């Protein structure tokens, strides 16, 4: 009969062998992905909706109301979907404001959100560089309004010149997590779904990508965990 020390050593060897096996499996899986597809807000960039408002007021009640009127509004979603013009969206947002002071803050925040709310996420530029060195192609697939179309998105992403393409929702009048946006993205760049892995901060968007045949990863802000997933 084995004594306790022998059983313990066998268990340690088994655990080590399991780790080696799954590391090899993960490496093989990642090697199959030729194309790494990133969301922009809260993945490639940090996104803080209050930043633009705080540039014009320090009143917490005004900041809270502007956040609801602008960044959690139906108009904001319609802008991302390319189904509303900015002038109309701003007018509707301002109509719901509780005071002239809030209306002014709504106008200032909305007109300047792209200058304040998006900043490169630390470490993502180096990650993209390493992916390119490893021979991968990198793409952006993001819900954004037409304000970031025509290469305006490049002002907010580190190493924009390394990306092989950017598919933005508003110009195509479609939104994540609609399956159509993933299908249109694949068609636009002539990619096979099984060759792509999609990285997003929202599980519903990743789940939709997986349903369309792509791989998926929910990003929690931890670049080192993402590097481990990508075998970098």
pLDDT along the chain (232 residues), means of 10: 50 48 47 92 96 96 98 97 97 98 98 96 98 97 95 96 98 98 98 97 96 96 96 92
If one counts every other C-beta atom within 10 angstroms of the C-beta of residue 113, the result is 21
Which long-range contacts link 183-191 to residues 24+ away (Cβ below 8 Å)? 183/212, 185/37, 185/139, 185/141, 186/212, 189/35, 189/139, 189/164, 189/165, 191/35
- The pTM assigned to this predicted structure is 0.86
Q: Any idea of the CA torsion for 115, 118, 121, 126, to the nearest 10 degrees?
A: -60
Other Cβ atoms within 10 Å of 154 Cβ, number: 15
Closest CA to 176 of 21, 47, 41, 70: 41
Q: Residue 128 in 3-state DSSP?
A: helix
């Amino acid at each position: 009969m084995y004594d306790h020390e022998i059983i313990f050593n066998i268990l340690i060897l088994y655990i080590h062998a399991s780790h080696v096996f799954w590391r090899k499996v993960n490496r093989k899986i990642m090697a199959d992905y030729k194309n790494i597809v990133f969301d922009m807000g809260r993945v490639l960039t940090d996104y803080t909706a209050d930043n633009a408002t705080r540039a014009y007021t320090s009143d917490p009640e005004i900041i809270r109301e502007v956040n609801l009127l602008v960044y959690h509004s139906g108009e904001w979603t319609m802008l991302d979907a390319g189904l509303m013009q900015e002038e109309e969206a701003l007018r509707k947002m301002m109509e719901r404001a509780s005071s002239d002071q809030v209306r002014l803050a709504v106008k200032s925040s909305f007109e300047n959100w792209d200058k304040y709310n998006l900043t490169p996420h630390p470490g993502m530029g180096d990650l993209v560089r390493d992916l390119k060195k490893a021979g991968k192609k990198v793409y952006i697939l993001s819900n954004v309004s037409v304000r970031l179309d025509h290469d305006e998105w490049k002002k907010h992403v580190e190493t924009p010149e390394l990306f092989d393409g950017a598919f933005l929702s508003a110009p195509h009048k479609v939104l994540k997590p609609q399956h159509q946006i993933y299908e249109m993205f694949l068609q636009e760049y002539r990619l096979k779904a099984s060759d792509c892995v999609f990285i997003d901060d929202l599980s519903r968007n990743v789940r939709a990508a997986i349903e369309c045949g792509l791989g998926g990863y929910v990003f929690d802000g931890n670049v080192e965990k993402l590097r481990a997933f990508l075998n970098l």
